Amino acid sequence: MSINAAVKLSSGQTMPVVAFGTGTQWFSNDQGVSNANEEATLADSLHAALDAGVTHIDSAEMYKTEVFSGPAFQDYLKKSSKQRSDFFITSKVFVSAGDVEKAVQTTLDHFGTDYLDLYLLHAPFLDKAGVTKSVAEVWKAMEALVDAGKIRSIGVSNFAVQHLESLLATARIPPAVNQIEVHPQLYQPELEEYCRSHEIVVTAYSSLKPLASKDECKDILKTAEDIAKAHDKTTAETLLNWNLSRGLGVVTTSSRPERLAKTLNCLSFTLDQKEIEAIAAAGKGVPHRYYWTEAFAQLEYKNKSNNKKSTLLLLCVCVCVCVCVCVCVCVCVCVCVCVCVCVCVCVCTCFVFYSLSSSRAKERERESDLCVCVCVCWPNVHTLFEHAQM
């Protein structure tokens, strides 16, 4: 069973799930300078991918290749019967996030278009680029460009769950896409599930990284090769499909014409759950993040520090609660003891009072009996006394 070639975004736009990437291996130097051969190769590769049926182009200001890929796209349109509307162009902003409107206009000029289909905030680590604005402020500027019609959909890249939570708390327009590094060595099911639950489409870059680390990833490649043979596909197509079969989009690239011609072959089959889990299991033994490693390492360290602080705070709260409970218990015990003592005193007092009352009652009863006895006996004694006198 083949995979749908496009997915509908929360913005209402339809995005092709396979994109030709103009980054990574196409990076220019820090000054954005590339030699003629690199420029020509990128142009030829882009044209070959578009000829193969790819309609999604993925770029970014950070790659410093839009100055080449943009004109190459314009040249292709001039020679093709297709229109701008037949293609989906994604770009990303990072270094120029402080002035998003200017950055977008630069990209539009390079591609010779008046709108971008998707615009991503390249990473949440804006301080690394020297950007003083917050993610929320940059996002607000991106939302304004959607309102202005220069961008059809907006999204993010390299965002973890905590970054998404923070953004969603203030965003007027939620992100439609989160483009992240995903391959068997960096499988992020929790992040994927979070995005899915918030209608954020996940697009994977670097799906083929295991191919570049054959010694380290021999188990992954062996598993992928076996599965590929079962489907009569290549290992590369299988690794791409590993992401596609789980509902992700993919960004891939190549400079080899024979591979570019078969770019969309990864859509012609679907891995079952057992095959997906087998590749994931093979990658667990060799975890590796290839991009933004320092930023994510710092984020992890910060999270661990915060967790330690939270744990310590929770421990302090628990100790305080326990102390309060103990004090309350002691107070209650003391109160109970006091009550018991009071009750005992009252009971004893009542008993003594009752005893005294009973004794007095008996004494009064004895006095009464004596009086009765005297009253009864006295006439008889008096009579006897009179008879004795006679």
Active site residue ranges: 63, 122
Q: Which of 1, 5, 390, 10 is nearest to 200 (CA)?
A: 10
Write the single-letter amino acid at 48: A
155, 176 Cβ separation under 8 angstroms: yes
Q: Which of 144, 174, 180, 140 is nearest to 159 (CA)?
A: 180
Whole-angstrom distance, CA of residue 68 vs CA of residue 57: 13
Query: What Cα–Cα distance (Å) separates residue 362 from each residue in 126, 355, 357, 369, 385?
Result: 100, 11, 9, 10, 33
Query: What Cα–Cα distance (Å) separates residue 51 from each residue in 45, 81, 257?
Result: 10, 12, 11
Give me the residues paired with residue 14 across strands: 8
- Written as one string, the DSSP assignment of 255-288 is S-HHHHTTGGGGGS----HHHHHHHHHHHHTS--
Q: Which of 11, 145, 25 is nearest to 88 (CA)?
A: 11
Q: What angle do CA 67, 73, 77 make, to 5 degrees?
A: 145
> What is the longest distance spanned by two Cα atoms in the chain?
173
Q: Which of 170, 151, 167 is nearest to 200 (CA)?
A: 167
